[in-house]
Amino acid sequence: MGTQGMQDLNDIHYFVQVVEHGSFTAASRALGVAKSQLSFRIARLEENLGVRLIQRTTRRSHVTEIGRRYYDQCRLMLAAADRAQRVIDDAQAIPRGRIHVACPVMFAQLLLAPVLVGFLRQHPDVQVDLDICHHQVDVVAHGYDIAFRVRASVQDSSLVLRSFGMDPQMLVASPELLRRIAPPQQPIDLREIPSVGVISAEGRHFWTLIDASGHAQRVEYHPTLVSDDLQVLYQAVTGGLGVAQMPRFLCREPIARGQLVPLLPAWSLPPGNVHAVYPSRHGHTPAMRSFIDYVAEHLPRILADAQRGAPSGDVKPLLAVA
């Protein structure tokens, strides 16, 4: 495109103002721009166009015929530019549009659901596509705006990480299993006990147990069932299939009802961290920025309430890990 097709919108704006105010002097007063600056900008516009838009004399000026026709088109051009800018301004001011979220079923059913309800009530022009994932998704490759994970740590420097709290873990078994085997007295005893566990990327399974002094023991175990779905693992452990590591807040009620028994209470396991990951801090839509802010404000409280203990029936064993 040549220079005649790339005029400065500011020059065009000044030209329109001169025409509408009837003179350089009146436009100068209205715009708060020096008359000499206006004259310079209009002269530059004329030079770039190769036509005379305003005929000047020592006493007066008037718009040429081509200048009048050009003015009519310039008004349309400036109006269109203003509408285009309003599209951007509105998009930046009002959260609207679609957010693609990846989330483990644990989050979806017990923690994220109340956050989503509150957020969508507050922002009715936003739509959320919630994808329940039983594995760690590639956020960028699969086009997600944000993904939630429960991990001790997240090793991905290409993603922005926000942490919202801890998810304490514990080892549990069913009374029926403990009637068949001797309960473990030390972490080393876990090696020979039937177990179930979460799918491991490395193909081997370990429990890390920490005593009161902070000393850690890493014990390898060999589960007869592995799954990324904690609902499946919950059914397996309550059915007596083996020992399992479970979120502490999920075990509270089953322990109280006698369905599960905590193992090695003098030892603790590293807690999971509740994370959200997303590609960048920059270029987010207003909907995405509002969602991140809303989650950061409300999710820690919901997580803390779950850790303190929910009313009977509110927390059910319907979890899976991210």
The predicted-structure confidence for 32-41, as pLDDT tens digits, reads as follows 889 999 999 9
Q: How is residue 311 annotated by DSSP?
A: P
As a whole number, mean pLDDT of residues 58-77 equals 90
pLDDT recorded at residue 183? 92
Class of the CATH domain delimited by 169-262: alpha beta
Q: Is it the case that residue 314 has pLDDT exceeding 50?
A: no
Query: What residue ranges do the domains of the chain occupy?
Result: 3-93, 97-167+272-308, 169-262
184: pLDDT strictly greater than 70? yes
Q: What percent of the chain has pLDDT over 70?
A: 88
3-class SS of residue 4: helix
Mean pLDDT of 65-86: 91
What confidence tier does 309 reach under pLDDT thresholds 50, 70, 90?
low
The CA distances from residue 15 to 37, 67, 75, 81, 254, in Å, are 12, 9, 10, 16, 78
Residue pair 111/303 in contact (Cβ under 8 Å)? The answer is yes
User: What is residue 261's predicted lDDT score, i.e. its pLDDT?
Assistant: 96
Map residue 2 onto helix, strand or coil: coil
Q: What is the per-residue pLDDT for 3?
A: 44
225-261: pLDDT as tens digits: 998 777 888 999 999 999 999 888 888 889 999 999 9
Backbone phi and psi for residue 233, each to the nearest 5 degrees, phi listed first: -65, -40
Domains 3-93 and 169-262 share a fold: no
Whether 185 contacts 266, CB under 8 Å: no
pTM above 0.85, yes or no: no
For the cut 50, the answer to whether the pLDDT of residue 144 exceeds it is yes
3-93 CATH pick, 3.30.910.20, 1.10.3720.10, 1.10.390.10, 1.10.10.10: 1.10.10.10
CB atoms inside a 10 Å sphere around CB 199: 14
DSSP, res 27: H
Residue 32's H or E segment, with its range, is none
Q: Which CATH superfamily is domain 97-167+272-308 in?
A: Periplasmic binding protein-like II (3.40.190.10)
